[in-house]
Amino acid sequence: MEGYLYRLDFKVRDYECDLQGIVNNAVYQNYLEHTRHEYLKTKGVDFAEIHREGKDAVVVRVEMDFITSLVSGDAFYVTLKVEQKGRMRLVFIQEVYRSRDDWLMLKGKVTTAVVEKGRPHPIDDLADRLRTA
């Protein structure tokens, strides 16, 4: 949990669970994405504005290590930190923790890039803005 720039709290909803009674693996990607978007909002990053400028932020790789499953009703939180990878990519390091015992449930790593007219665009300015607490 140390070194994270942002935390967002959630609660598991019944419809996010599969027949086994645990959160479906695909739902975790939604949790990670929502946390990234909320963090970006706190930094004044607006996807619609970036798009109007002719650029788009895109996910190029997702890695998720499932440790333990959340179940319906579990309160949990997602943490986030940002690393720059070269001049073209940002990597969001994210973890999901169950709130009642701060138990690590999932480790995630989401690599993103900005493209302009379908070509990679440097992210130096954006990266500097996002790394500050």
Provide the pLDDT for residue 48: 82
Q: How is domain 6-131 classified at the architecture level of CATH? A: Roll (3.10)
86 or 35, higher pLDDT: 35
Q: Does position 133 have pLDDT exceeding 60, yes or no?
A: no
Q: What is the pTM of this model?
A: 0.90
Say which residue, 131 or 82, is predicted with more confidence: 82
Reduced to 3 states (helix: H, G, I; strand: E, B; else coil), residue 21 is coil
- Is position 18 annotated as part of the catalytic site? yes
Q: How far apart are CA 12 and CA 28, in angstroms?
A: 10
Query: Quick one: average pLDDT of 10-23?
Result: 96
The Cα 110–Cα 124 span in angstroms is: 18
Catalytic residue of the set 18, 46, 102, 128? 18
